[in-house]
Structure 1
Amino acid sequence: MASRGIQGTTLLCLVWAISMAILTSSVLVQARRTVDDMNVIDICWRTNPNWRSHRHQLARCSVGYAGKMIHNIGRDVINYKVTDPSDDPLNPRPGTLRYAMTSIRGKVWITFKRNMVIKLAKPLLVSSFTTIDGRGVNVEIAYGACLLLQRVTNVIIHGLRIHHCVAQGPGPVMGPNRKIVQMGQVDGDAIRMLTSSNIWIDHNTLYDCQDGLIDVTRGSTGITISNNWFRFQDKVMLLGHNDGFRRDQDMKVTVAFNHFGPRCQQRMPRIRFGYAHVVNNLYLGWGQYAIGGSSNPSIKSQANLFIAPEGGNKEITWDSNMNANFRSVHDLFENGASFRQSSDEGIATRPNYRPDQMFDVADARAVRSLTKSAGALKCPRLSRC
């Protein structure tokens, strides 16, 4: 009898062990599939289930011309939590987003206590060495002014929903270090950069703004725009101030893992003078064109997925004065999409990244998976983002 009991127990243990092995194997396979669907930026932090306790890890995950954002972290970082969605452009209250920009010196890492809609009365002048981290909550900046980066460096903007930005008339506003700045007329852009460097714009959802969604102008360089969802917009992304501003010749921008569409018409991006590496993006149609240029820019389009609109313009590129250097490398074209590229490869084939900027480019056939979570992420509590 004792022998039979031992045999029964052994059998139960064996069945349990086999069941656990199958379950573990299934979990590992699912985890492996999830990782395989992520791009190199997301793998860096989203695979960590304890990312909330290690938020600063994000700064080491950027790639492209922004480089690693390690100057935004360290022992001297001040962690600041926004608790109040109100906005006073001249006398910001503690707990508001503008207070962090105007009254905290040095490095600041900004998070949000709860879901909120912030209606800015005047443009928010973002300070240097600032991270705006919207992960874990739904933060909207909408129905008023939006973000202005002017002569700043080392800024991360992550996890925001920015929409319905409207133009603002001239007037005073408090800027960094509590200095009053006399602002001129400001167009209704979601994020505008002027003479700024080392900027990373990642995992934001941007749409329906009065002018454009992102402007990189007046000598700005060292910019990475990644994992964003751009939709419902005429003019999406402008790189370069105008055809007479030659300082933008030094501009270098990486545009990677973004989702363009639906209903984006043009400027994805439009570039003047500088260099753009446009890589592993999903283009879900366009109106006038997808990628445009003027004033002799260089654009390397690499391993993107272009899905042409039904019954519309199938040509991806637009060149205002026939001197842009467009180059397509390993792009994938669907629904009749076509790419008119320059006869001479020139500089467009060479991003010339530093070691801290380099990343592996995925096959264009993987772009749907790599961009499926573009935009501001939903991050359930007690789980991976």
Structure 2
Amino acid sequence: MSGHQVMNSSFWSFVLVVVIVTLFTTIVSSSKQSQIEGMEMNVIDQCWRFNPEWRKHRQQLARCSVGYVGKMTSNIDKDLVHYKVTDPSDHPLNPQPGTLRYGASNIQSKVWITFQRDMNIRLEKPLLISSFTTIDGRGVNVHIANNACLMIYKATNIIIHGIRIHHCRPQAPGMVMGPNGKIISLGQVDGDAIRLVSASKIWIDHNTLYDSQDGLLDVTRGSTDVTISNNWFREQDKVMLLGHDDGFIRDKNMKVTVVYNYFGPNCRQRMPRIRHGYAYVANNLYMGWTQYAIGGSSGPSLKSQSNLFIAPTENKEVTWRKSSNGIGDTWKFYSVGDAFENGASFIDTKGGQVKKPNYSHEQDFEVVDSKYVRSLTSSSGVLQCSKTSIC
């Protein structure tokens, strides 16, 4: 065989290999895409999870929120600081560069926080998060656990995504770095996983929260415009409180969306418990309860739409209402299109309906039939993201 024939044969062998590899890659890629498209993925996840290059376009997430938080586009743009957590240690007054507290409390700019690797973070004092901060745990396994946890205090435009928060414990009063690097005196903290105090425009998405001393998520003292989505709440007595106390009238302006969350197993009550304000609760899965699933006092309004309530062996009623001062109350609880299994029941308020949520265009989303809730919530909690492609 001549040299020319050898070169020609080698060339066509190379071409054949390229064609085979390309064909195989295309088939695998198509298979993965078909697999994810076969899921009944909710509207938030559809916005970004189909993109295999999401790591290069993390800020796309800010355009995916729905409900009362609206879109989080104020968290991005050209002046955004990209900050990576490399050090799991913590100092409440003098946080070092590379730690979570330095990025969340000390940087006085829009900041998008990611994590270099898997890590367990034990906070010495509650982490007070500055406005226009995103904490993005996608792609790694991050735990905030076993002591103090998160507080959003007089701050706005915050995203918390993809973090495991658990075994949060009460904290004695003391000094701590507050938002924008200011040292403040913080009073007694009860041991919530995430607590909002006079906060607005907050998005809590795809986190896993469990086993904390007080509650898993409190929205208090005039906080409003909050969306709580795609989270997994489990192993907890008091899960979610909306409204500070019966006497805090300013919570009448509170508006919260609770959507695509998975409650259970072993959640006892407050999913949510609401005071004064308004909650729109849609397309969530309730895997039992001990005392009640949804409760309230002090004239709250709540619309429950297309949720799936799976009752426990005992105590089948979903709702609970507390009278104020022994004279009754003016709560308004409405169930629209909910599904009830294992004998679950929902006591509606008679004689009217809640007209809200009255969403703007950027807040609005389609609530789907309750028969799809199992699929819509199947990815609730922290996502297991592949290192090579999709979440």
What TM-score comes out, normalization by structure 1 length? 0.92
Identity of aligned residues (%): 65
Q: CA–CA distance in 2 between the matches of 1:276 and 1:60?
A: 22
Query: Could you tell me which amino acid in structure 2 is paired with residue 89 of structure 1?
Result: P
Q: Distance in 2 between matches of 1:101 and 1:26?
A: 39
- Name the CA shift for 1:164/1:24 in 2 (closer, same or farther; >3 Å): closer
Are residues 285 and 106 of structure 1, via their aligned partners in 2, closer, same or farther at CA, if it must alter by over 3 Å? same
Matched, 1:160 2:166: no
Query: How far apart are the structure 1 equivalents of 2:134 and 2:253?
Result: 25
Q: 2:308 matched to 1:305?
A: yes
CA deviations on 1:334-384 (whole Å, 9 max, x unpaired) are 0000000100334x2420001000000011000000000100111010120
Contact 2:107 2:181 in 1 (8 A): no
Is 1:324 paired with 2:331? yes
Q: Aligned partners of 1:368, 1:225: CA distance in 2, in Å?
A: 18
What do the CA deviations read for 1:221-244 (whole angstroms, capped 9, x no partner)?
000000000000000000000000
Match of 1:236, SS?
Answer: strand
Q: 237, 247, 250: which one pairs with 1:247? A: 250
TM superposition shift of 1:75: 0.6
Quick one: distance in 2 between partners of 1:187 and 1:179?
A: 22
CA RMSD of aligned residues (A): 1.6
Say which SS state the counterpart of residue 48 (structure 2) adopts. Answer: helix
The separation in 1 between residues aligned to 2:151 and 2:105, in whole angstroms, is: 13
Correspondent of 1:208 among 202, 208, 211: 211
Number of paired residues? Answer: 364
Is 1:136 aligned to 2:139, yes or no? Answer: yes
Q: What per-residue deviation string (whole Å, max 9, x for no partner) do you get for residues 288-316 of structure 1?
A: 00000100100000000000012x11000
| 2:121/2:144 contact within 8 Å kept | yes
Give secondary structure in 2 for the equivalent of 1:49.
Answer: coil
Aligned to 2:317, which of 310, 315, 318?
315
Preserved contact between residue 259 and residue 283 of structure 2 (Cα < 8 Å): yes
Superposition pairs of residues 177-196 of structure 1, within 5 angstroms: 177-196=180-199
Runs of 5+ unmatched residues, structure 2: 1-19, 324-328
SS, match of residue 300 in structure 1: strand
Question: What are the ranges of 5 or more consecutive residues in structure 1 without an aligned counterpart?
Answer: 1-15
2:264 aligned partner: 261
Please tell me whether residue 68 in structure 1 is matched to residue 71 in structure 2.
Answer: yes
Report the Cα distance in structure 2 between the residues aligned to 1:290 and 1:266, rounded to whole angstroms.
Answer: 5
Q: What one-letter code is carried by the residue in structure 2 that aligns with 1:97?
A: L
Change (3 A) 1:362 1:295: same
Out of 374, 378, 382, the residue aligned to residue 380 of structure 2 is: 374
Counterpart of 2:357 in structure 1: which amino acid?
Answer: P
Runs (4+) off by over 4 Å: 19-29
SS in 2 for 1:46: coil
Name the SS for the 1:213 alignment partner. strand
- After superposition, the Cα gap between the structure-2 partners of 1:380 and 1:276, relative to the gap in structure 1 and judged at 3 Å, is same
Q: Determine the structure 2 residue equivalent to 1:354.
A: 360
1:33 is aligned to 38
Distance 1:29 1:178 in 2: 47
Q: What are the superposed Cα offsets for residues 72-95 of structure 1, whole Å, 9 maximum, x if unpaired?
A: 000100000000000000110110
Cα offset, 1:101, TM superposition? 2.4
The answer to whether the 8 Å contact 1:101/1:175 transfers is no
Instruction: Name the amino acid aligned to 2:38.
Output: R
**Any idea what SS the aligned residue of 1:193 has?**
strand
Label 1:308 to 1:125 Cα distance change in 2 as closer, same or farther (>3 A). Answer: same
CA distance in 2, matches of 1:191, 1:127: 14
Paired residues for 1:60-99 under 5 Å: 60-99=63-102
DSSP-derived class of the 2:56 partner: helix
Residues in 1 aligned to 2:159 and 2:284: alpha-carbon distance in whole angstroms? 20
Is the 2:153–2:197 Cα contact (8 Å) retained in structure 1? yes
**1:317 partner letter:** T
